[in-house]
Amino acid sequence: MPEMGGKQCMKELSRDQPGGKSSRGSGYESGSSPSDAREIGAAGFVRKPFNAAQILRNVRQIIDS
- pLDDT tens digits for 9-59? 888 888 888 888 888 887 776 556 778 778 888 888 898 889 999 999 999
Question: Is 1 domain-assigned?
Answer: no
The pLDDT score that the predictor gives to residue 1 is: 58
The pLDDT score that the predictor gives to residue 61 is: 93
CA–chain centroid gap for 7, Å, is 10
Range of the domain at 12: 6-64
Listed residue (48, 43, 42) closest to 12, CA to CA: 42
Give 40 or 1, the one with higher predicted confidence. Answer: 40
Count of domains in the chain? 1
* Percent of the chain that is helix, strand, coil (3-state, to 5): 45, 10, 40
pTM of this prediction exceeds 0.85: no
